[in-house]
C-alpha cells in the first residue's frame, strides 16, 4: 500500500488519462465553416469527456490499483477536459481533429480530497505554446485573482518586486477553473462551494505543467486578497512534481507564506514543495542559472555527441533568454521550495549512472533502465541500447519519477515509455 504522497502522485498521473492522440470528427458541410467546426468541437468535447470518465472509473475500480492506493476513493467532481480549438481542419475532406488542452478531476475518501491537474498534453500545440513556453509579459498576482474570481481583466506587471506570475500559468489556471463536468458544474463553482470537515484536507497536485498550475491554483483558493474559496489555508496543501517556475521571487515568497514545507521521512514525502529530478529540463525553467547548468550534467554522462549537446545548449540558452526577458518585465523567476529526490537519478551518483538505456527482454515489453538497475537484475551492459538525447530528456521528465516514487505501480498513469523523439523535436522546432 502506498503512502499518502505516493497515492497523491499516482492520482496526479491519472489526470493525464485524457491526454491522447487527437480525435477526428466529421464536419457538417451544410453549415457555414465556423459553425461546422464549433459543432464538431462540441462532439469531440463530449467524446473526450466520456473517455476520461470511463478510464478514470476503470482505474479507480481496478482491484490491483486499489491494493496500492486504497478502495475508498470516489469521484467528487469531474473528470472534465477542455478543447481550446481544432488541431487541424481539412474542409476538403470534411475532417477536423481535436485534442484535450486541460483536464482535471477531484476524488475523495473520508479524510482527503485530491484535485489532480493534468500536465502538458503532447498532442496539444496550445499547451506547448500558450501554457508552457509563453511566459511574458506576465500577469500581476492581484489582477489574476480578480480575473479568476470576478471575470476582471488581467494586468501586465508594473513592478518587479510585487508578486507576478507567468502569462502561461495565468492562462492554464483560467482554463482549469473553467472546466465543465457532465453535471454542468465548473471546477471553480465546485471549489467555491466546497466545505471541508475538521479532519479533511484538500491536496492540489499535478506533474509538469500541472506542477506549475497546482500550487498557483492552491494559493488562489486561500489568498486573502481575493480568495476563490472560504477554505482555511491550514486544510489545503500541494504536491507538485516536475513543475516549472510559475512566477517571480515575490510570488514564491507569497506562496511560502501560506504553504510552508512539511516533510516526512522519505525523500518524496514532502508537502508544498516542488519535487524534481536534477536531470529534468522542465523544472529548471525558468531559472536562468538552473537552465544553463543542465548541458554540463548531460555532458558528464559521456553518452552524447558534441552535436547533441550543442543542440541542448542552444535550447536552454533560448530558454534562459526568455527567462531574462521575464525578469526584466516581471521580476526574477523565483522557484517555489523544492526538493531533489535521489534514487536512479540522484546527484550523489555519477551522471552516467543516472541515464536510461533501452532494454528489450526476450519475451516482454521494452524497458528503460539505468545501468545500476540493470546490474541489480543481472542484465549485462551489452544488452542495453542507447536512446536519443531527446528521448533521454523526456525519460528524465516522466519515467524517472515513476521509477522512484511508485516503482511497482500497476498500469502507470503516465506514459510507460518515453514519448517519441519526434514530439519533442517538433516542439523545439516551433520555438
Domain count, the chain: 1
The answer on pLDDT for 201 being more than 90 is yes
Does residue 92 come out as left (phi exceeding 0), alpha (psi in the -120 to 50 range) or beta? alpha
The answer on pLDDT for 302 being more than 90 is no
> What does the pLDDT average to over 394-417?
74
> What does the pLDDT average to over 51-57?
92
| Percentage of residues of the chain with pLDDT beyond 70 | 91
- 74 forms bridges with which residues in the sheet? 108
List C-alpha distances in Å: 53 to 56, 104, 181, 330.
5, 11, 10, 39
Query: How far is CA 13 from its chain centroid?
Result: 9
The residue ranking higher by pLDDT, 186 or 184, is 186
Residue 19 pLDDT grade (very low, low, confident, very high; cuts 50, 70, 90): confident
The answer on pLDDT for 88 being more than 60 is yes
Show the domain range for 105: 4-429
- 77 forms bridges with which residues in the sheet? 106
Question: How many residues are given for the chain?
Answer: 431
Question: Computed from CA positions of residues 196, 197, 198, 203, in that sequence, does the dihedral angle turn out positive or negative?
Answer: negative
User: To the nearest whole number, what is the mean pLDDT of the chain?
Assistant: 88
The answer on pLDDT for 359 being more than 80 is yes
Give yes or no for a contact between 80 and 105, defined as CB atoms under 8 angstroms apart: yes
The answer on pLDDT for 413 being more than 60 is no
> What does the pLDDT average to over 211-217?
97
| Percentage of residues of the chain with pLDDT beyond 90 | 64
Q: How high is the pLDDT of residue 267?
A: 78
What CATH number is given to the structural domain containing 221? 3.40.50.1820
Q: How high is the pLDDT of residue 125?
A: 66
Residue 417 pLDDT grade (very low, low, confident, very high; cuts 50, 70, 90): very low
The residue ranking higher by pLDDT, 223 or 372, is 223
> What does the pLDDT average to over 142-157?
93
Residue 358 pLDDT grade (very low, low, confident, very high; cuts 50, 70, 90): very high
Task: Enter the C-alpha cell of residue 267.
Answer: 525523500
Q: Which of 63, 9, 94 is nearest to 402 (CA)?
A: 9
Question: What is the bridge-based pairing of β-strands 112-117 and 102-108?
Answer: antiparallel
Q: How high is the pLDDT of residue 143?
A: 97
Does residue 343 come out as left (phi exceeding 0), alpha (psi in the -120 to 50 range) or beta? left
Q: How high is the pLDDT of residue 345?
A: 44
- 262 forms bridges with which residues in the sheet? 271
SS (H, E, C) the chain: CCCHHHHHHHHHHHHHHHCCCCEEEECCCCCCHHHHHHHHHHHHHHHHHHHHHHHHHHHHHCHHHHHHHCCCCEEEEEEEEECCCCCEEECCCCEEEECCCEEEEEEECCCEEEEEECCCCCCCHHHHHHHHHCCCCCEEHHHHHHHHHHCCCCCCCCCCCCCEECHHHHHHHHHHHCCECCCCCEHHHHHHCCCCCCCCEEEEEEECHHHHHHHHHHHHHHCCCCCCCCCCHHHEEEEEECCCCCEEHHHHHHHHHHCCCEECCCCCCEECCEEECCCCCHHHCCCHHHHHHHHHHHHCCCCCCHHHHHHHHHHHHHHHHHHHHHHHHHCCECCCCEEECCCCCCCCCCHHHCCEEEECCCCCCCEEEEHHHHHHCCCCHHHEECCCHHHHHHHHHCHHHHHHHCCCCCCCCCCCCCCCHHHHHHHHHCC
Query: How far is CA 306 from its chain centroid?
Result: 30
- 333 forms bridges with which residues in the sheet? 248
The answer on pLDDT for 354 being more than 90 is no
Q: How high is the pLDDT of residue 147?
A: 96
Q: Which of 345, 341, 117, 342 is nearest to 246 (CA)?
A: 117
> What does the pLDDT average to over 77-106?
92
Rounded to an integer, what distance in angstroms lies between the CA atom of residue 360 and that of residue 341? Answer: 27
> What does the pLDDT average to over 376-385?
93
Q: What is the pLDDT of residues 111-131, one digit of tens each?
A: 999 999 998 887 776 666 667
List C-alpha distances in Å: 196 to 193, 205, 224, 227, 341.
10, 18, 18, 16, 31
Residue 412 pLDDT grade (very low, low, confident, very high; cuts 50, 70, 90): very low
The answer on pLDDT for 425 being more than 80 is no
Rounded to an integer, what distance in angstroms lies between the CA atom of residue 202 and that of residue 111? Answer: 9
Q: Which of 233, 239, 220 is nearest to 114 (CA)?
A: 239
From 161-175, 237-251, 379-393, 401-415, the region with the lowest mean pLDDT: 401-415
Q: What is the pLDDT of residues 240-265, one digit of tens each?
A: 999 999 999 999 999 999 999 998 88
The answer on pLDDT for 428 being more than 50 is no
Amino acid at each position: 500500500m502506498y503512502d499518502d504522497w505516493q497515492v497523491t502522485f499516482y492520482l496526479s498521473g491519472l489526470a493525464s488519462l485524457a491526454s491522447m492522440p487527437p480525435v477526428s470528427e466529421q464536419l457538417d458541410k451544410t453549415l457555414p465553416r465556423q459553425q461546422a467546426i464549433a459543432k464538431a468541437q462540441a462532439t469531440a468535447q463530449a467524446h473526450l469527456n466520456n473517455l476520461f470518465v470511463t478510464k478514470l472509473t476503470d482505474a479507480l475500480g481496478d482491484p490491483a490499483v486499489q491494493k496500492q492506493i486504497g478502495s475508498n476513493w470516489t469521484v467528487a467532481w469531474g473528470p472534465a477536459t477542455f478543447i481550446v480549438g481544432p488541431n487541424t481542419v481539412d474542409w476538403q475532406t470534411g475532417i477536423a481533429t481535436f485534442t484535450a488542452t486541460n483536464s482535471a478531476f477531484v476524488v475523495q475518501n473520508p479524510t482527503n480530497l485530491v484535485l489532480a491537474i493534468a500536465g502538458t498534453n503532447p498532442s496539444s500545440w496550445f499547451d506547448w505554446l500558450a501554457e508552457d513556453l509563453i511566459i511574458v509579459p506576465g500577469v500581476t498576482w492581484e489582477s489574476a485573482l480578480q480575473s479568476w474570481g470576478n471575470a476582471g481583466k488581467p494586468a501586465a506587471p508594473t513592478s518587479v518586486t510585487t508578486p507576478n506570475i507567468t502569462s502561461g500559468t495565468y492562462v492554464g489556471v483560467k482554463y482549469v477553473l473553467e472546466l465543465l463536468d457532465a453535471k454542468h458544474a465548473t471546477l471553480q463553482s465546485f471549489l467555491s462551494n466546497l466545505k471541508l470537515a475538521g479532519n479533511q484536507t484538500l491536496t492540489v497536485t499535478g506533474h509538469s505543467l500541472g506542477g506549475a498550475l497546482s500550487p498557483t491554483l492552491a494559493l488562489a483558493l486561500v489568498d486573502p486578497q481575493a480568495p476563490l474559496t472560504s477554505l482555511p489555508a491550514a486544510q489545503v496543501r500541494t504536491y507538485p512534481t516536475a513543475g516549472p517556475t510559475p512566477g517571480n521571487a515575490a510570488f514564491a515568497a507569497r506562496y511560502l507564506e501560506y504553504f510552508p514545507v512539511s516533510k516526512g521521512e522519505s525523500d518524496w514525502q514532502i508537502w508544498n514543495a516542488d519535487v524534481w529530478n536534477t536531470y529534468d529540463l522542465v523544472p529548471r525553467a525558468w531559472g536562468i542559472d538552473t537552465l544553463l547548468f543542465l548541458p554540463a550534467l548531460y555532458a558528464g554522462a559521456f553518452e552524447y555527441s558534441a552535436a547533441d549537446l550543442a543542440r541542448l545548449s542552444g535550447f536552454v540558452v533560448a530558454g534562459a533568454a526568455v527567462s531574462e526577458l521575464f525578469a526584466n518585465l516581471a521580476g526574477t523567476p523565483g522557484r517555489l521550495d523544492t526538493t531533489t529526490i535521489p534514487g536512479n537519478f540522484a546527484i550523489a551518483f555519477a551522471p552516467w549512472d543516472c541515464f536510461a538505456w533501452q532494454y528489450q527482454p526476450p519475451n516482454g515489453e521494452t524497458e528503460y533502465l539505468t545501468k545500476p538497475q540493470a546490474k541489480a537484475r543481472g542484465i549485462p551492459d551489452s544488452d542495453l541500447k542507447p536512446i536519443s538525447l531527446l528521448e533521454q530528456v523526456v525519460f528524465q521528465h516522466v519515467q524517472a519519477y515513476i521509477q522512484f516514487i511508485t516503482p511497482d505501480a500497476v498500469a502507470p498513469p503516465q506514459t510507460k515509455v518515453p514519448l517519441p523523439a519526434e514530439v519533442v523535436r517538433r516542439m523545439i522546432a516551433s520555438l
